[in-house]
Amino acid sequence: MSSCTREGYRLPLRVYMEDTDAGGIVYYVNYLKFMERARSEWLRQLGLNQQTLLDEGTQLVVYRLACHYAKPACLDDALEISAHVTDVGRCRMTFEQQVWRGEELLCSATVEIACLSTERLRPKAWPTSLKVLTQAS
């Protein structure tokens, strides 16, 4: 079961065949997809979703990413993906994210998200609804 607390969000996830290469090891880019899911589910737990933001003229995009792969995840592994907001600026938000298999840290990343206007595709200030939520998480 997922959880959303002041310390962040944790998403349980199972590794399926489609997530792996021919040897049953998770393909590196899929860790980024897992992290994206955790950020999207974090939004849902806070009462928002990507479609609502798009309808309001706001798009969230990855602006910068630094990732460290420590150990491989494999077919059928039960993982937990964390997402914790560490900084909120006028139009950027920084997440620290991790992928765990039990007590083993498999992957960690710092992900900067930018808030853009869907009309102009230029940076814009966080909508009030999201800014309030990010201060509470």
Answer yes or no: is pLDDT of 81 > 80.
yes
Residue 99 within any structural domain of the chain: yes
Cα-based distances in Å from 66 to 62, 98, 113, 117: 11, 12, 12, 24
DSSP state of 18: G
Residue 125 within any structural domain of the chain: yes
Q: Distance between CA atoms of 105 and 69, rounded to whole angstroms?
A: 9
Q: Distance between CA atoms of 16 and 21, rounded to whole angstroms?
A: 11
Residue 72 belongs to what domain range? Answer: 9-133
What pLDDT does residue 97 have?
Answer: 98
Answer yes or no: is pLDDT of 64 > 60.
yes
Residue 1 within any structural domain of the chain: no
Please name the residues in contact with 108: beta carbons below 8 A apart, sequence gap of 6 or more: 67, 68, 70, 96, 97, 98, 99
- Please pick, among 21, 55, 76, 87, the residue that the annotation labels catalytic: 21
| pLDDT, average across residues 82-89 | 93
| pLDDT, average across residues 116-130 | 90
Residue 32 within any structural domain of the chain: yes
Residue 2 within any structural domain of the chain: no
Cα-based distances in Å from 39 to 22, 47, 106: 28, 13, 18
Sorting pLDDT into bands at 50, 70 and 90, what band is 135?
low
How many domains are contained in the chain?
Answer: 1
76 is catalytic: no
Residue 3 within any structural domain of the chain: no
What pLDDT does residue 6 have?
Answer: 42
Q: What CATH number corresponds to the domain at position 30? A: 3.10.129.10
Q: Convert the pLDDT of each residue in 15-30 to its tens digit.
A: 999 999 999 999 999 9
pTM: 0.89
